[in-house]
């Protein structure tokens, strides 16, 4: 699929037109002043050229009025770019709460994705049209960057932390996915596609790709085998460690009196480096899990944690005990 302007990728997300409009505004302002300045320059070169070898120009005194004008006008123009750019940025920065979630792990040189319903994909992402989709991303090795030109959005994928990105696709189709951060020898081959489907097709796709367990259920199993339950309670109700049920998305008070929002980043940090931000009233008794669990397992624990705070209706899986049939599949 090609857009009507050559060199501009297809436009297929709710905010791609916003990015395009801003981009054309920047190009337009640049073009206007480039033409204005170069034509005035050429005109002056000819009009005020030295006509005899002995001609000495009249000295020119400065003009405050002129200087003020050519300071204020560019300042105002630059502020429109700043204000507009900030607005577009903030629209993209914060994912809406009702988005469906997909976990993304980048590694040299592939994209591994998993839906909240359990389906795994490599270098492909199937999403429904007209639904908000939030990606929770991290890397197993170096910095990568998830870039879908047709959606006009991209975000770095950084080892050791979670970054997020969201979009709502506006038309079905297959769109390029690129890694946009040089990440080693096969960086240019770290590509894939985002396949946008009609909701019904997407549901068919989901049910045709049943996976053994959802991340939340796998996380619950890990929660037991890693011994988390001995302090946080079998269902996250708390004990020697803080309660996990209902905690996600809320603020919690720390030992030092500061407050922190329990989000993806904080949960991850607390598993990797538990002593860093202790919850008020709890001792530094939790061991670190750095190097002992993989990014995939961290994602599963996070999904389980989030499912403990899902108040029905949400897309997170209820923390049901894994049934034998689920294990056999
Ligand atoms: Cu991954 Cu470039």
Specify the ligand 1 atom closest to the Cα of 144: 1
Specify the ligand 1 atom closest to the Cα of 183: 2
DSSP string for residues in 281-314: T--S-PPP-TTTS-HHHHHHHHHHHHHTT--SSS
Question: What is the whole-number distance in angstroms between the Cα of residue 245 and the centre of ligand 1?
Answer: 36
* Token duo for residue 247: 């905690």
Rg (the chain; Cα; Å): 27
Is a pLDDT exceeding 90 seen at residue 31?
yes
Question: What is the whole-number distance in angstroms between the Cα of residue 204 and the centre of ligand 1?
Answer: 31
**Per-residue pLDDT tens over the stretch 236-290:** 888 788 888 888 888 888 888 888 888 888 888 888 888 888 888 888 888 888 8
**Per-residue pLDDT tens over the stretch 81-110:** 999 999 999 988 888 888 998 999 999 999
Task: Estimate to the nearest angstrom the gap between the alpha carbon of 175 and the chain centroid.
Answer: 17
Specify the ligand 1 atom closest to the Cα of 182: 2
C-alpha distance across the termini of the chain, in Å: 38
Pocket of ligand 1 (CB under 6 A): 106, 109, 144, 179, 181-183, 187, 190
Specify the ligand 1 atom closest to the Cα of 184: 2
**Per-residue pLDDT tens over the stretch 196-252:** 999 998 988 888 776 667 888 888 888 888 888 878 887 888 878 888 888 888 888
Specify the ligand 1 atom closest to the Cα of 179: 2
Nearest Cα residue to atom 1 of ligand 1: 144
Q: Which stretches does DSSP call E strand in 200-244?
A: none
pLDDT for 194 equals: 94
Q: In the sheet where 124-128 sits, what is the strand order?
A: 124-128, 192-197, 173-179, 144-148, 153-157
Question: What is the whole-number distance in angstroms between the Cα of residue 109 and the centre of ligand 1?
Answer: 6
Give the burial string for 179-201 (b: 16+ CB within 10 Å, else e): bbbebeeebeebebebbbbeeee
- 261 vs 224: CA distance, rounded Å: 25
Task: Specify whether the CB–CB gap between 59 and 128 falls below 8 A.
Answer: no
- DSSP, collapsed to helix, strand or coil, labels residue 79 as helix
- 291 vs 305: CA distance, rounded Å: 20
Q: In which band, very low, low, confident or very high, does the pLDDT at 323 lie, cut at 50, 70 and 90?
A: very low
The residues, ordered by sequence, that sit 6+ positions from 230 with a Cβ below 8 Å of its Cβ are: 239, 240
Mean pLDDT of 106-133: 90
Question: What is the whole-number distance in angstroms between the Cα of residue 11 and the centre of ligand 1?
Answer: 23
């Amino acid at each position: 699929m090609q857009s009507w302007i050559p060199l501009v990728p297809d436009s297929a997300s709710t905010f791609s037109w916003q990015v395009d409009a801003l981009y054309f505004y920047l190009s337009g302002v640049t073009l206007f002043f480039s033409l204005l300045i170069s034509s005035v320059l050429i005109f002056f070169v000819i009009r005020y050229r030295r006509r005899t070898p002995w001609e000495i120009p009249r000295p020119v005194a400065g003009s405050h009025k002129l200087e003020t004008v050519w300071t204020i006008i560019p300042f105002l123009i630059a502020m429109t770019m700043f204000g507009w750019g900030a607005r577009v940025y903030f629209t993209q920065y914060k994912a809406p709460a009702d988005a469906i979630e997909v976990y993304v792990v980048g590694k040299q040189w592939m994209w591994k994705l998993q839906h909240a319903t359990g389906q795994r994909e490599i270098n492909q992402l199937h999403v429904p049209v007209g639904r908000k989709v939030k990606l929770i991303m991290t890397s197993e090795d170096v910095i990568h960057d998830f870039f879908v030109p047709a959606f006009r959005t991209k975000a770095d994928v950084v080892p050791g932390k979670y970054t997020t990105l969201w979009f709502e696709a506006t038309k079905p189709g297959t769109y390029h996915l690129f890694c946009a951060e040089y990440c080693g020898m096969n960086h240019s081959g770290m590509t894939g596609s985002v396949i946008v489907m009609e909701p019904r097709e997407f549901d068919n796709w989901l049910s045709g790709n049943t996976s053994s367990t959802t991340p939340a259920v796998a996380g619950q199993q890990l929660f037991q085998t890693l011994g988390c339950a001995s302090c946080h309670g079998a269902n996250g109700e708390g004990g020697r460690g803080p309660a996990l049920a209902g905690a996600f998305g809320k603020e919690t008070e720390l030992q030092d009196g500061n407050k922190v929002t329990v989000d993806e980043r904080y949960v991850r940090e607390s598993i990797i480096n538990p002593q860093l931000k202790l919850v008020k009233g709890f001792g530094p008794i939790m061991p670190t899990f750095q190097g002992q669990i993989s990014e995939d397992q961290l994602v599963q624990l996070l999904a389980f944690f989030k499912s403990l705070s899902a108040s029905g209706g949400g897309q997170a899986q209820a923390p049901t005990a894994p049934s034998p049939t689920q294990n056999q599949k």
